[in-house]
Amino acid sequence: MHVQKALPDKSAPTEISLVRGGPFFRLQTAIGLIRTNQWNLGRRDDFLLAVGWLPLFVITAFLNPEGLLSLIREYRLHARMLLAVPALLVGEVALR
């Protein structure tokens, strides 16, 4: 009796990516922020800034309306959001 050995599948992708995959990547792909071979940094930056800043604004407006002006004047918060989020996205593109 002759037994054939299974050969490794040559069609399997050999590329390993540190940033493509995972639930957050799949969510961005599903809502159209990331397309095939296109990272769309501008759209993703706007989306992530809204996701990061909008809940802070809404929670402060409901729970502490007097502190809303203080939140708006907090330049350190805005600087972190406007510098850190785009820097993380550019770093993600550099890793691919």
How much of the chain exceeds pLDDT 70, in percent?
80
Cα distance between residue 9 and residue 6, in whole Å: 9
Q: Does any domain span residue 5?
A: no
Confidence (pLDDT) at 18: 65
Q: Does any domain span residue 73?
A: yes
pTM of the model: 0.63
Residue-range definition of the domain harbouring residue 82: 41-95
Q: Does any domain span residue 54?
A: yes
What is the total count of domains within the chain?
Answer: 1
Confidence (pLDDT) at 23: 84
Q: Does any domain span residue 16?
A: no
pLDDT of residue 84 exceeding 70, the answer is yes
pLDDT tens-digit readout, 11-53: 655 666 667 778 878 888 888 888 877 778 888 888 888 888 8
Q: Does any domain span residue 53?
A: yes
Q: Does any domain span residue 83?
A: yes
Q: Does any domain span residue 90?
A: yes
Confidence (pLDDT) at 9: 59
pLDDT of residue 59 exceeding 90, the answer is yes
HEC profile for the chain? CCCCCCCCCCCCCCCCCCCCCCHHHHHHHHCCCCECCECCHHHHHHHHHHHHHHHHHHHHHHHCHHHHHHHHHCHHHHHHHHHHHHHHHHHHHHHC
